[in-house]
A and B are shown apart, each in its own frame.
Chain A
C-alpha cells in the first residue's frame, strides 16, 4: 500500500514535458488514456465473447451439423467432421458468460467510463491515485489473458458454467474428466480481476469525494457520476467476497481443502451463497453506470432538464442498497427454506420500485422535449425500452412460484440478455458514440451509426424475444442438443430462426467496428461541443489535453440546464458559464477573484 502513501495529487498539472510513446500510451497514468486502453481491450474481449456465442447458436440451431470452419479447432473441441462436442459446448457456455460479464461489459462500463468521465465531469486534473489507476488497468488486462489462456491448456477452459457451482467446480478430479488447469486459471483470473476492480474503485470513490471542482456540489453532479459512485461502492464491497470465494475454490482444487466438498463435510451450497452475495450487487454494477450515462444522453437529446433529478439520485442509492439483500432469488430452487424464500422475493420485488422511478423519469424527460434523435439518443431510448422489457420479465423471476417453473430455462437467458445486451450494451453504443469526439477528437459517422442502430435493434429483438417463448416451452439453458427431447422438437424451427438472426446480429456489429476504427483517422473533426451539452468535459478541446484544465473551472449550476430562459438564444447553459446573477460558490478553494 505504499503507493497510496506516495501518489500525490497532481495539482496544477496542465503543462507537462513531452513524453515518449511508451509513457504516453502504454504505461500511462493519464485517466483518459487508461480509459481508452480499457476501451480497446474490452472491445476485444467483447468480440471474443461474441465469437463464442456464435458457436453456441450454431450448435443450438443446427445440432449435429459441422461447424463452418470448425476444422481448425483441435480434436478435444470438435469431432473429426467438425461437429461441436458436448464437452466443448459447455466450455463455450461457461466462457461466453465469463468473458461477457467480467471482461467485456464490466470493464466497458466501469473501466472505460469511470476512468474517462469522473475527472472530466467533476473538473479534476486526474484521478486521486494515477499510478494505482494504471496498475488497475494492467491487472485487468493480465486477468483477461489468464482467462484466455484457459483455451490453450490441454483440457481446455472450465466446464462448470460461469457461476462455477460447486461441487462440479471444486472437485474437477471427481466430477469432470480432469479439467483442472482451466478451473484453476478461472480462479486466478478472477482474483486478479478483483484486485483490479478494488484498486479502480478506491480511486473512483476518493476522486469523487475529494476532487470535485469548486461549486460542484453533490447535487450538481451529473447522474452518470452518481451512478458510477454508487457502482464503485458496490464493487469495492462485492468483489472481495468473490475473491475470497474464488480463493477457497482454488484451494479445494489445488491443495485439497474441503470448503465446497460435501464428501468431507463441506457445503456446496456455501459457494452459491458466496457467489450470489457478490453476484447480485454485480448485476447492478453492470446496469447502474448504463443508467447514469443514459440519463445524461436522454436529457441532452430531449433538450430538457432531467425529470426528477433528486429522485433519480435516490433511486440509484436505493437500488445500490437493495442489491445487497436479494441474492437468494437466484437460489429459489436450491432447497431454500420457503420463509426465507419469501423474504428474498419481497426484497426483490421492492427493487422494481426505484427501477420504475427511473424509467418514468426518463419518459418524463422525453415528454414534450425537443427530441434530437442523434445516434447516442437512439441507442439511449432503445436502452429505456429494452431495460423495461428486461425489468418486467425480472418481476416474473422474483416471484418464487413463477420462478420454480422458469428456473434454468431460456426464459432466464432471455431476461438476462434483455438487461445486459438490450440494457448495458445499447447504453454502451450510446456512450461510445457520445464521448467518441472527447476521446479521439473526431465524430463517428452518423449515417453508419443509424444503420447499425436499426439493424442491431431489429435483429437483437428477433434473437432474444423468442427465447422467452422457447423458455416457457421448457428448453433448458446450457442444453447441448434440444432435439434429443421429444417435447422440445416442435420448437426447433424457432431455434433455427434465432440462430440465423444471431448471425445477422453478430455481422451487424462489424458495421460498428468499422465505424469505430474508420472514424479514428477519417471521421469528421469534432467541434468543441458537438452535442451542445452542459458538462464540464465540453469546456475542453477535443481530445482533452494531458492534465485537463490549466485552471480548474468553477461550477455555477447543475448539468441539465437545457432550454433555460437565462441562456438567451442558446438552448443550453454549460455548468462553468457564469451569468451576472451567479454568485461564487462558498466552497471555492481557488483564490477569490478581485471585486
Chain B
C-alpha cells in the first residue's frame, strides 16, 4: 500500500491491462479479498472492543501479563519486512533480478522470524499460566492475580485470554500464509527469473497482502499490547 503512492508514475502497467478498472485482475482481486479480510478482523477486533468495554470487572494492565518489549521488537521486525517488500518490488520494477532475490528473501526471513517469536511468546505465556480460558489455576499468574486482582484483571481474565489468543493467533495465521505464499513464489518464479520489469504482477499482488497483514498488526499491537 505504501508503494502505491510512491511509484505512481511507474504504475502504468506494461503488462496486459484489462478494460474496466484499468487495473490488472490479480491486483483487483487482491484488493477485493483484502476488503473481505478487513471484515474478518473487524469481527474479531469489534468483539474484543465490545467485550472489553462491556465487562464490569477491571481489565488487566497489558505490561503485567504480556512481554511488551519482546513483542515491540517483533513489531519492528514486521515493519522492516514491509520495507524490504517495497525494496523487492522497486528492484523488479527496474528489472533488477538480484535485488528482487535479496529483498524478497529478507522479507521471507523476517516474516518467518515474526512467527517464530510469536510461537516463543505463546509458549512463555502459557508457561506463566496465561491461556485462552484465563489464568490457569495454580500458575504464577493466578497467584499474582489473587494478590492484585485490579492490576491483573482477575475478574476479566477469561475474556482477556479468549480475545488475546484469538486475535493474535489469526494474525499469526495470516503471516504464516504470507510466508508460505512468498516462499512458493520465490522457488517457482523468483529463482527461475520469471519476473521482469515488464511483468511483476505476482510480487505486487503478494506485496499488497503483506502490507495489509503488517497494518493489521500495527492496530493489534496498539490495542492489545499498549492500551
Contact surface of A with B, Cβ cutoff 8 Å: 1-2, 4-7, 9, 11, 128-129, 132, 198, 201-203, 205-207, 209-212, 214, 236-241, 243-245, 247-248, 251, 255-259, 261, 264-267, 270, 273-274, 587, 589
The answer on a CB contact under 8 Å between B39 and A248 is: no
Extra contacts, 7 of them, besides A247-B170, A270-B51 (Cβ < 8 A), are A202-B32, A206-B32, A241-B40, A241-B42, A241-B43, A265-B51, A266-B162
Stretch at the interface among B88-96, B199-207, B215-223: B199-207
Whether, in the assembled complex, B36 has its beta carbon less than 8 Å from a beta carbon of chain A, the answer is: yes
Contacts of A214 in B (CB 8 A): 19
Flag B176-200 by CB within 8 Å of A: 1 or 0 each: 0110010011000100000000000
Which of these, B19, B155, B159, contacts A210 with CB under 8 Å? B19
The answer on a CB contact under 8 Å between B37 and A240 is: yes
Q: Which chain B residue shows the least CB distance to A7?
A: B26
CA distance A265 to B154 in the complex (A): 11
Which of these, A198, A201, A244, A266, contacts B159 with CB under 8 Å? A266
With contacts A2-B181, A251-B132, A257-B132 known, is A241 near B39, CB below 8 A?
yes
Contacts of B33 in A (CB 8 A): 1, 4, 198, 202, 236
Contacts of B16 in A (CB 8 A): 9, 11
Contacts of B138 in A (CB 8 A): none
The answer on a CB contact under 8 Å between B43 and A5 is: no
Contacts of B185 in A (CB 8 A): 2, 5
Which of these, A5, A198, A203, A256, contacts B205 with CB under 8 Å? A5
Which of these, B21, B28, B39, B162, contacts A259 with CB under 8 Å? B162
CA distance A397 to B26 in the complex (A): 43
Contact surface of B with A, Cβ cutoff 8 Å: 16, 18-21, 23-26, 28-30, 32-33, 35-37, 39-44, 47, 50-51, 54-55, 57, 132-134, 155-156, 158-159, 161-163, 165-166, 170, 177-178, 181, 184-185, 189, 201-202, 205-206, 209
Contacts of B155 in A (CB 8 A): 265
- List the 4 closest A-B pairs by CB distance, nearest first: A244-B43, A5-B202, A257-B162, A240-B40
Which of these, B36, B40, B166, contacts A251 with CB under 8 Å? B166
The answer on a CB contact under 8 Å between B47 and A211 is: no
The answer on a CB contact under 8 Å between B40 and A4 is: no
CA distance A202 to B39 in the complex (A): 14
Contacts of A209 in B (CB 8 A): 20-21, 28
Q: Which chain B residue shows the least CB distance to A124?
A: B18
Q: Which chain A residue shows the least CB distance to B185?
A: A2
Which of these, B25, B36, B159, contacts A236 with CB under 8 Å? B36
Q: Which chain B residue shows the least CB distance to A256?
A: B133
CA distance A207 to B28 in the complex (A): 10
CA distance A1 to B50 in the complex (A): 31
**Contacts A/B (CB < 8 Å), 14 sampled:** A2-B181, A4-B33, A128-B25, A198-B33, A206-B29, A210-B25, A240-B40, A243-B43, A244-B44, A245-B47, A257-B162, A258-B134, A259-B159, A266-B162
The answer on a CB contact under 8 Å between A1 and B30 is: yes
The answer on a CB contact under 8 Å between A198 and B133 is: no
CA distance A497 to B57 in the complex (A): 55
Contacts of A248 in B (CB 8 A): 44, 47, 162, 166
The answer on a CB contact under 8 Å between A4 and B26 is: yes
Contacts of A265 in B (CB 8 A): 51, 55, 57, 155-156, 158-159
Which of these, A236, A256, A273, contacts B132 with CB under 8 Å? A256
Contacts of A212 in B (CB 8 A): 19-20
Which of these, B37, B159, B201, contacts A258 with CB under 8 Å? B159
The answer on a CB contact under 8 Å between A1 and B166 is: no
Contacts of A266 in B (CB 8 A): 51, 158-159, 162
Which of these, A5, A128, A267, A589, contacts B50 with CB under 8 Å? A267
CA distance A251 to B132 in the complex (A): 9
CA distance A9 to B25 in the complex (A): 8
CA distance A241 to B37 in the complex (A): 9
Contacts of B40 in A (CB 8 A): 240-241, 243-244
The answer on a CB contact under 8 Å between B50 and A270 is: yes
With contacts A214-B19, A241-B42, A267-B50 known, is A128 near B184, CB below 8 A?
no
The answer on a CB contact under 8 Å between B47 and A238 is: no
CA distance A264 to B135 in the complex (A): 12
CA distance A251 to B42 in the complex (A): 18
Contacts of A245 in B (CB 8 A): 43, 47
Contacts of B132 in A (CB 8 A): 251, 255-257
The answer on a CB contact under 8 Å between B166 and A247 is: yes
Least distance between A466 CB and chain B CB atoms (Å): 39
CA distance A248 to B205 in the complex (A): 30
The answer on a CB contact under 8 Å between B206 and A5 is: yes
The answer on a CB contact under 8 Å between B25 and A129 is: yes
Contacts of A240 in B (CB 8 A): 36-37, 39-40, 43
Q: Which chain B residue shows the least CB distance to A252?
A: B162
Least distance between B218 CB and chain A CB atoms (Å): 20
CA distance A5 to B104 in the complex (A): 15
Least distance between B85 CB and chain A CB atoms (Å): 14
Least distance between A559 CB and chain B CB atoms (Å): 18
